[in-house]
């Protein structure tokens, strides 16, 4: 704590006494110490000290405008492009983005494309300049979502075409955040395809478009992941630190389920991936367990299934490196068994576990079963 503090701290005995009170739950640290503790553990304040009553996805987002889906569609067909209709379209787009962690990719792709067609059809109507820009914005966010889902499903060519469409929509509307997310998707595609230099270039370009938005945090994370795979530990720490500082400065997001919102808990997810790659097993395991904890509701419902899957792979890698084949393959199977998965990202991190098992335990039956299961997922 003294290393990370920007001002003198009390004596050791006072700090230890306070720490024990905080750990026991007798008192809560103030904002100064919360920030300092989070920084000491390499994360952000809101991830280490999550807020009570965090915003969750509301089951009926469209109620905010008093309109349901059928009424929105009726208004669109009736050429009603009033502000209330535009507001309802924006909420519909947000609803889709919030369903990304849960809805099957096939269903989300169909719904996303359907809404994208409806929204872009409005561009042929007589619109004010402001209305035209708002419709481009809504279409840009939906296109980003559809591109992500297509890539999750292994549809690389379609995903890249949709990503480019989103980039064009962002440029036409002047929305730097949409532009930056389009570049973030390019960085993600490059990462899963092994083009690590391409990740860094895409991340730099995206950060230029929206340097103070949450997307810049994710762009730094993609850079850190790429540097980890290139073996540059210093650049990993530098990129993570830039992302951590920016995330610490941003307000807490209104809805952490929104796919294009970087919530504080996601920083631990970034760090987990990087430390797994560079071989820091104790740190990777610590972050993986925290990712699973923060992504699971008190009743056991998994809120962020794709994050949990990659955390399970991380625990599997740590177990494999320690020689525990049974535990490693158990974690590996759990990761592959989830209903909601991003195939490129899951295969990317699962390949690390498969290489370890194939190299060190090629004749273990449990390892062979896992490797065969992963092979079938690839093809």
How is the chain split into domains, by residue range? Answer: 1-14+30-49, 56-174, 190-253, 265-379
Q: Is 341 left (phi over 0), alpha (psi -120 to 50) or beta?
A: beta
Write out pLDDT tens, residues 126-144: 888 888 899 999 999 999 9
- CATH of 265-379 given 1.25.40.10, 3.40.228.10, 3.40.50.2300, 3.40.50.720: 1.25.40.10
**Angle made by CA atoms 257, 260, 266, in degrees to the nearest 5:** 65
Say if 190-253 and 265-379 have the same CATH topology: yes
> Of 68 and 296, which is predicted with more confidence?
296
327 — phi, psi (to 5°)?
Answer: -65, -40
Residues 190-253, CATH architecture:
Alpha Horseshoe (1.25)
Question: Sorting pLDDT into bands at 50, 70 and 90, what band is 284?
Answer: very high
The label of the residue with tokens 């998965």 reads 341
- Higher pLDDT pick, 73 / 369: 369
Q: Tens digit of pLDDT for each residue in 307-345?
A: 999 999 999 999 999 999 999 999 999 999 887 888 889
pLDDT given for residue 74 in this prediction: 52
In contact, 361 and 367? CB cutoff 8 Å: yes
How high is the pLDDT of residue 338?
Answer: 80
In 258-304, alpha helices (H): 266-277, 281-294
33, pLDDT greater than 90: no
The rounded distance, in Å, linking the Cα atoms of 23 and 29 is 10
């Amino acid at each position: 704590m003294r290393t990370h503090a920007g001002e003198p701290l009390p004596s050791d005995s006072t700090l230890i006494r306070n720490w024990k009170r905080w750990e026991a739950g007798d008192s809560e640290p103030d904002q100064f110490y919360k920030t300092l503790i989070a920084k000491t553990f390499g994360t952000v304040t809101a991830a280490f000290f999550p807020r009570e009553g965090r915003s969750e996805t509301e089951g009926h987002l469209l109620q905010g405008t008093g309109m349901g889906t059928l009424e929105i569609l009726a208004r669109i067909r009736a050429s009603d492009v009033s502000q209330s209709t535009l507001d309802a379209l924006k909420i519909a787009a947000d609803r889709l983005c919030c369903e990304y962690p849960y809805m099957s990719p096939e269903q989300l792709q169909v719904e996303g494309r359907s809404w994208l067609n409806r929204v872009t059809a409005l561009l042929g109507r007589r619109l004010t300049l402001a209305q035209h820009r708002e419709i481009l914005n809504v279409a840009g966010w939906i296109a980003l979502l559809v591109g992500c889902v297509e890539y999750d499903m292994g549809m690389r060519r379609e995903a890249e075409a949709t990503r480019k469409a989103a980039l064009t929509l962002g440029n036409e509307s002047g929305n730097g955040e949409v532009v930056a997310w389009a570049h973030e998707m390019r960085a993600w595609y490059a990462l899963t395809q092994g083009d690590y230099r391409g990740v860094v270039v895409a991340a730099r370009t995206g950060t230029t478009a929206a340097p103070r938005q949450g997307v810049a945090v994710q762009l730094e994370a993609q850079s850190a992941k790429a540097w980890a795979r290139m073996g540059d530990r210093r650049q990993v720490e530098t990129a993570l630190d830039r992302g951590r500082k920016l995330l610490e400065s941003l307000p807490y997001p209104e809805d952490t389920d929104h796919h294009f919102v970087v919530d504080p808990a996601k920083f631990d997810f970034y760090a987990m991936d990087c430390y797994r790659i560079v071989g820091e097993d104790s740190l990777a395991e610590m972050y993986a367990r925290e990712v699973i904890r923060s992504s699971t509701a008190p009743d056991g419902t998994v809120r962020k299934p794709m994050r949990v899957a990659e955390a399970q792979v991380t625990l599997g890698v740590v177990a494999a490196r320690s020689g525990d084949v049974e535990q490693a393959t158990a974690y590996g199977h759990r990761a592959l068994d989830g209903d909601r998965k991003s195939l490129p990202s899951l295969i990317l991190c699962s390949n690390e576990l498969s290489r370890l098992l194939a190299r060190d335990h090629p004749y273990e039956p449990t390892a062979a079963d896992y490797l065969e299961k992963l092979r079938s997922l690839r093809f």
